[in-house]
Structure 1
Amino acid sequence: MGTTQMLELIDDYVDHLRFVLGRSEATIRGYRSDLRAFAHSRPSLEAMSLEDCRDALGEAVEAGASRATLARRTAALKGFSAWLFAQGYLSSDVAARLQAPKVGKHLPKVLNEHTAAEVVHKELDEDASPAQQAEVLRDLAILELLYATGMRVAELVALDIADLDPATRIAKVTGKGNKQRMVPFGTQAAAALKAWLEHGRGHFAGNASGNALFLGVRGGRLNVRQVRRLVQAQGDRAGVEGLGPHALRHSAATHLLDHGADLRVVQELLGHSSLQTTQIYTHVSTQRLQEAFKQAHPRA
């Protein structure tokens, strides 16, 4: 079952909400939006499991979703799962035990520069097999690019080779609303990308079609979940529990401001439509300044 069929089932479920359960139009619009987003990233019923639902909510948490949004998305997934089970499309109600993640009112997780450097570092074992070395080269390129650009993980996995301009060190990124922006990256990310493209990618390409920048071991385009697992593993290694790709985005933005970048430049780099969204990072930088002052000043 592909995306089209999933979307048809969602439309049928929306009709159930409207004509059988009598839900409000506002609720129906929210549920339809949430379920269609889920279907685009997980386009088949085979990909609808409790783990997949939890992953989708986890991605929403990393993206800064509010408590209300998380509660609605949880309700949408639980209701859709129960309806699919009742209609015979699922053998069990996979989302019955799903609970909305707890999200406190706090500033985004930001790594200090030393920890960020540890997270984006992986050792290349010269005794490893060529395929294992290729995987390390790919992971290094992913980590460096995420931290260098602050791009969203979905934007990263959507990149094609042609979206990179090695000469100018610019990546053409397609963000929310299919809006494109040009994002620069530094020398370390450029070196990691060069190594991956010249010495790593060929080990995974095989008979794969397409020009995806980052490939999985079977030659297909790498997906969001695989990148999330990579970043979490790197966080665990660096002693940062529960690290996600969005934390690298937060860290990149904060470190740019710490070193004097203009707020509107950071807005453009991150692809924020509103400057107000970017301003949260000024609060993060102020908080870090206050912490440093308290630790270092004799009269703090």
Structure 2
Amino acid sequence: MNEKFVEIINDMADVLNAAQLKRLQEVLLKRLVKDEPEKKMISNQEYLNKFLEAKKIEGCSERTIKYYKVTVEQLLKKVLHPIRKVTTEQMREYLVDYQKINNCGKTTIDNVRRNISSFFSWLEEEDYILKSPMRRIHKIRAEKLVKNVITDEDIERLRDGCDCLRDVAMIDLLYSTGIRVGELVRLNRADINFSERECVVFGKGDKERRVYFDAKSKIHLINYLKSRTDDNPALFVSLDRPYSRLKISGVEIRLRQLGRKLNLDRVHPHKFRRSMATRAIDKGMPIEQVQKILGHSQIDTTMQYAIVNQNNVKAAHRKYIS
């Protein structure tokens, strides 16, 4: 779109509604661009490819990019016309149908909404469309459930249930640092400072931060590394040759197996992160410091972990009120 085109649209934005602006855009495109050399039409798939490339440059993880790809591709299978002609009403219908067909909850459908919204926002920012049809489709509020955390007793059972030094070290590091599973598998031996009991991790967007582990984690990490006979720089590797770097799926599968073996409910990497954050807040650590440890850019994200222990509420009432 040339400058004059954008200026006209902006000038009329205050007096025309969305449908009228869209019609104006189509007329201007037809009348102002008809004499220009014909431009190559961009397909919906090409728009998606450009979007994914942009997200990759922004530093999104492969997992996030894959999620964007799957979500938007599902939408494109239903959209049989150019993506720039999609309306808000069509998007609402799509989300309603998606929820019915897949029988998914509010949290899942909101994740779909957020990914699609990100795609259309990018199209708008790049001037491929005039206005995102997702602007008026707001966050889908789900019932907030208090999620279970890993108790001290559960941790002891998990340690005892491990049949290798690697798994004990991995569990302790997750529980004491609260790092993401993606950060765990990227760690190298050289990233660990045993004297200071700290390590450097690279979080979302390759942001570097320091996290800290306890004495138990230190001992179990040292024992695990001493038992290693390979020269792989990765901190955690597979148990069998060729001793390759452990992947996210490998950690998830191992923890799930341990949980089932010990009859513990839903043991997964993020549960350790949530447990560490909840424990820290419960013991009085300032929320800003918990935010720093977890690597959250927004404190609202950290607040989701602030599950207040009812016993502490009772003690606080007796201290300050009674």
Is the TM value for this pair above 0.5?
Answer: yes
**Among the aligned pairs, what percent are the same residue?**
27
Q: Which residue of structure 1 lines up, in the alignment, with residue 155 of structure 2?
A: 116
Deviations 1:232-280 (CA, angstroms, capped at 9, x unpaired):
1222233223321001100011111222222112111111111111112
Mapped to 2, the partners of 1:178 and 1:154 lie a distance apart of: 11
Partner of 1:165 in structure 2? Answer: 193
Q: For the Cα contact (< 8 Å) 2:61–2:204, is it kept in 1?
A: no
Matched, 1:178 2:217: no
Give every structure 1 segment of 4 or more consecutive aligned residues whose post-TM-superposition deviation is greater than 6 Å.
25-28, 36-39, 71-74, 290-293
Give the counterpart of 1:68 among 110, 117, 121. Answer: 110
Question: Aligned partners of 1:118 and 1:267: how far apart in 2?
Answer: 29
Q: Does 1:276 align with 2:300?
A: yes
Structure 2 gap ranges (5+)? 1-40, 67-106, 117-141, 315-322
Task: Give the structure 1 partner of residue 236 of structure 2.
Answer: 214
Q: Does structure 2 retain, via aligned residues, the 8 Å contact 1:31–1:73?
A: no
Is the partner of 1:221 in helix, strand or coil?
coil
User: Does residue 228 in structure 1 map to residue 252 in structure 2?
Assistant: yes
Q: After superposition, where does 1:1-300 map in structure 2 within 5 Å?
A: 19-21=42-44, 29=51, 33=55, 40=62, 67-70=109-112, 105-124=144-163, 136-199=164-227, 201-202=228-229, 205=230, 210-216=232-238, 217=240, 218-282=242-306, 284=307, 286=308, 288-289=309-310
SS at match of 1:167: coil
Which deviates more, 236-245 or 143-152? Answer: 236-245
- Distance in structure 2 (CA, Å) of the matches to 1:195 and 1:182: 23
Residue 148 of structure 1 deviates from its aligned partner by 0.7
What residue identity is the alignment partner of 1:110?
Answer: V
Q: In structure 1, what is the equivalent of residue 122 of structure 2? A: none
2:75 counterpart residue number: none
Cα 1:121–1:32 change in 2 (3 A) is farther
Question: 2-side partners of 1:119 and 1:221: how far apart?
Answer: 22
- The letter of the residue matching 1:175 is G
Separation in structure 1 between the aligned mates of residue 48 and residue 43 of structure 2, nearest angstrom: 16
How far apart, CA to CA, are the structure 1 residues paired with 2:55 and 2:282? 37
- CA-to-aligned-CA distance 1:189-218 (integer Å, 9 cap, x gap): 00110000112x21xx2xx6x411111122
Deviation digits for residues 69-106 of structure 1, max 9, x if unmatched? 246769xxxxxxxxxxxxxxxxxxxxxxxxxxxx8642
Contact kept? 1:145, 1:185, Cα under 8 Å: yes
Q: Structure 2 CA distance, aligned partners of 1:255 and 1:247?
A: 12
Secondary structure in 1 aligned to 2:305?
helix
Contact 1:31-1:72 within 8 A present in 2 as well: no
Q: Which of 262-271 and 235-244 deviates more?
A: 235-244
Equivalent pairs counted in the alignment come to 210
TM-score, normalised by the number of residues in structure 2? 0.55
- Deviates most, 146-155 or 217-226: 217-226
The TM-score with structure 1 as length reference comes to 0.59
- In the alignment, which residue of structure 2 is the partner of 1:297? none
Displacement after TM superposition at 1:113 (Å): 2.6
Q: Secondary structure at the match of 2:161?
A: coil
Equivalent residues of 1:228, 1:245 under 8 A apart = yes
Structure 1 residues 180 and 173: CA distance shift in structure 2, 3 A: same
Structure 1 unmatched ranges of 5 or more: 1-17, 45-64, 75-102, 125-135, 294-300
SS at match of 2:205: helix
Instruction: State how far apart, in whole Å, the 2-side matches of 1:113 and 1:269 are.
Output: 20
The 1:183/1:38 distance shift into structure 2, 3 A limit, reads: closer
CA RMSD of the aligned region, Å?
4.0
